[in-house]
Structure 1
Amino acid sequence: MSPVSFLLVDDLEENLLSLEALLRRDGLNLLKARSGDQALELLLENEVALALIDVQMPGLNGFELAELMRGNERTRRVPIIFVTAGTADVQRRFRGYEAGAVDFIQKPIEPDILRSKADVFFDLYRQRQQIAGQRDELEAQAQALKEADRRKDEFLATLAHELRNPLAPLRHGLDILRRDPDGEGSAEIRDMMDRQLVHLVRLIDDLLDVSRVSQGKIELRKDRIDVEGAVRSAIEASRPLIDQSGHLLTVDMPQERLWLDADHTRLSQVIANLLNNAAKYTPAGGRIGVSVQTDGDEAVIAVSDNGIGIPAQMRSQVFQLFTQVDDHLDRAQGGLGIGLALVRQLVALHGGTVEADSAGMGSGSVFRIRLPLASTPEPATDVEQPSASAPAASAKPLKVLVVDDNTDLAFMLGMMLEEMGHEFELAHDGHKALQAARHYRPDVILLDIGLPGMDGYEVCRAFRQEELFKDTPIFAQTGWGQSRDKAKASEAGFDQHLTKPVAFEDLEKLLTNVTVSSASPN
């Protein structure tokens, strides 16, 4: 807290020194003036809690100084105690109080009386400082809440817009296919619907990821990886969006292999987000570049474009959550404003930094990731590979029990299973699932978590308690996909945890593994 200032005004130096000696204390700043003019200068330069003014002074006397103080907005509320050499008569006291005095002190001054009066004004000013500080803090909090509320409203509006973007063509595609499922262009419509569904899932995954990182719930699975492999994976993931906009992509990789201690999946996600960002903010037919080089003991991964650029005032804000450049909204392909925030957080978890550079609007952008290099890994010991001529296990149809209270979803899973060549039976709550399993004797159980009555964890534990199903593969399928959800599923006895929507290829691969496992000799 800043010091409290008192102003001492007296034309005699010895009187000022005497007052200073009597009033000196911690947290008190004493300003001294030997004339009314000098006092006015100090008052205009400083916040003063109390003015102790001698009445009899050459030039401006104490009363005249007080009257001038009352006429100025800055000084009109400063408390004044007049110091007088004799007993002030009624007329003089009246003039003093009229000029704004709060009290009179007679010379010679009684130290205890002076200190007690000064302490009152010192404490009052301290209280005013505290109240002002609390007021400023409350105003700052109110402003922060107002800003947070504004950003929340903007985010929810953007979220609704971005979710509708892929949902609209999905809806239209379904309407067309319902009328004419095998008509001209039906294959293109299905491809379009698949792309839009992938986009929708990616939006939700990004939103969940940034929440997990913010809460410290993402754990990197670091390994010694080659930078080029991560870059190639990112390009593969972003290629549809780049090609869709007709961009030319150039890749510049060093001849030598560069190694990092990193999570391959997360690093690929970071680079893919930057590539997607470049594709969105570059007009059709633009140029996008990816380059990798070394700078000292760091690997530098740069993603550049010749797009619409970043205004100077936004360069420091683009990595903030839910931030988008306003001028870009009508030309970009949308987004939630979380991609770059996620990039920064994931790069920081790898011990690196990311920066944005742009010469301004219309000049394109460059995003550079800097990550610490790792040493070259030791050569791997040769491992005997299985013979190429070894016969593959013959696939056999599986009996799959699908348990989900969403009847439409359960039916569509059943259709997928039939497409894979498997059989299925449906159940829509835990009790019916247990009953159905006893007569159906499934090879695999796909079990939803959020079931009415018994939830999926309880149902799985009930299956494991029965001798018939203690070794049956049970796969959780749920919208809950965080680490703690997977751990909870494992504790309940699930063999695998699948996050909805489950991709056809992922489910087919799991069931193929079950088929191969059951076909292997004991």
Structure 2
Amino acid sequence: MPDNPIRFLIVDDIRENMIALEALLRRDGLRVDFAGSAAEALELMLVHDYALAFLDVQMPETDGFELAELMRGSERTRQIPIIFVTAADRDERRRFKGFEVGALDYIFKPIDPVILQSKADVFFMIGRQARELERQRDELRVLAHHRDAAISRLKAHADNSPLALVECDCRLTIRSWSQGAERMFGVGADQMLGRVIGEQGWLAPEATAVLRSWVQNGTSEGRHKTEARVSRPDGDMIHCEVFGSILRDPSDGNLSLSLQVLDVTERQRAEEMRSLLIGELNHRIKNTLANVQAIARQTLRQAKSLDGFEQGFIGRLQALSRAHSILSDVTWTSAPLDQLIDEQIRAGTLDPLRLTRHGPKVQLSPENTLRLALSLHELGTNAAKYGALSTPNGIIDLSWHQGEACLVLRWEERGGPAVSPPEHKGFGMTLIHASAGGDDNMVKAEWHESGVIWTISLPLGAASPKQSADNQAAPAPDAGKIGSLGQCCVLVVEDEPLVALDMSHELKAAGASVNIARNIDQALQVIGTLEIDVAMLDGNLSGQPVDDVALALARHRIPFCFVSGYGREHLPQGFQHVPVVEKPFRAEALLPVLTELMHAAAIRPTSATPVIRP
């Protein structure tokens, strides 16, 4: 160790003695310093660390005994081993005095090299060991510093981490509870340390059983993961992902469990909301397609020519498209009535110079927006063909006001040709009636020579009017239609009037009688009072789930199918055996499902005779 040698100090007033002694001590890794006086020796001792000091007893001014006393009086030099070198007689009193001032041994002149080297070897080895211990101490200090810094960083990460870090022993007794765990679970470490996981009911029993199985399996391989629901003291329930690591103590073989817990409550809510929104979007799209299908079928039924069908269908489809554009701009929340009227003006259905309008600011629900768009299109088209807009001087006065739980819209035509009630109710009038939820009592037409006056009452928001269900008489079956329901009674639970109308036509053409219920109350009333053979249930009625209706049908043992734009995951749970007919439906797919339901339930078709069910 030439860069860091062991140092001996020789103190003698005769330099030749020091040189001779140094020659006997010389070896690799040893450096010998000389001091000709006590003062010089003390100065060297303040600068260097010595493994051994050889002190001549007889020196001028300050002798060896006095120097030893000075060394023992200073903290810096107190621990330096001292061997006295003397040429005096072996006087026991002098030897005792030397030991009294701190000497470890004596060497007498003339010096025996073997004795000198053997004594020096001991202190040289002690010095080397001390130097090695110092080196190891310094290394341990560095390691301890790095360890403490790493622990501090880990603790800072743990305290600021969004994860909750929990450590427990093989009996699931909690030994560590991070600040992240305190924030996530709302419980301090002082309340959790020393307790068994799940003891206070904060963790569900099934999750505790999973953690216990991890420890009992006794393997540290692989990554353990589970999900758990955690109850906070404030009553909130959070959903967590739990990651576990099994650790084995190498000294005693005992297992411990380290848990990292992530709160995924918001993520789960977002996923549920995303699933709900996707389901709602699919429902709206398929409902719209079903409405388009109904418009196409009904327009085709009443069209006198292909050109007439094309004009009627395209005009109605464009009116529906413009209403969809309005709703898209407001993310399908609510649309202003004024904007709906403006869209009819831009489309050319209404003439702004011949239209007066007045009424309060009104926001329409998405359902009412779509329905009223079709109604305004039909009113404007009829006015242009037969009414006030068919003559140069005709005008239309459009007004509205808030009624009791409804919006009352008044369309008055003046200055046109004399009008009279039509002999047959066309599809245009059906669409106008559909704007009020399909209830004839909510639509009134007054035919005057000066012009027609329509009064339409719209239910506010997305609520459907609570009127009695429609029990419509079945017309003579159309022999050209697919399938036959043999005069059975079918309940159609559907809040879209056009879709319900389209279903009704298909069912009546197959020989069935039809009852239409447009909300939950109507559906429950029909189920409880009429003898129903089979039912078709929409997956959602004006934003309301249909679980109660499905349960009522099951209680009364009425076979039914879902007709919906929703996937099965968004339909009432517990009815996985119930068939689902997707919107837009096809008659050739719908009718066999109803027939199969009746056959499977062994129900003979009956007429719709009102009965009171228990």
TM-score normalised by structure 2 residue count:
0.26
Please identify the structure whose Cα radius of gyration is greater.
2
